[in-house]
Amino acid sequence: MKKNEYVQFLTEEMMKYMHRSKQEKHDRRIQRTSKGSSSYWFGIIPFALKMMKRRWQRHS
C-alpha cells in the first residue's frame, strides 16, 4: 500500500468515526467489551490454558 493510499484510508476511517452518533459509538464500545478480553486479544490460547488448568485441578 502506498503512503498516499494509506493516508487516504486513515482519513476516510476517521471521518466515518466522527460522523457516527454518540449512541452508535457507545453500542460499538459495549459490543467490543462484551467479548472476553483475553480471547479477543490472544485468541484461543488463554481459553485452552484455562481448560487444561481445570482438568488438572479435577484430577489432583
The pair phi, psi for residue 19, each rounded to 5°, is -85, -5
pLDDT tens sequence across 3-49: 899 999 999 999 998 888 989 888 888 887 666 666 566 778 888 88
Residue type at position 12: E
What is the model's pLDDT at position 11?
94
Backbone φ and ψ for 58, nearest 5 degrees, come out as -70, -35
Domain count, the chain: 1
Question: How far apart, in whole angstroms, are the C-alpha atoms of residue 20 and residue 42?
Answer: 29
pTM, 2 dp: 0.43
Do 38 and 31 meet the contact criterion of CB atoms below 8 Å apart?
no
Q: How far apart are CA 47 and CA 45, in angstroms?
A: 5
Q: Which range marks the domain in which residue 11 is found? A: 3-59
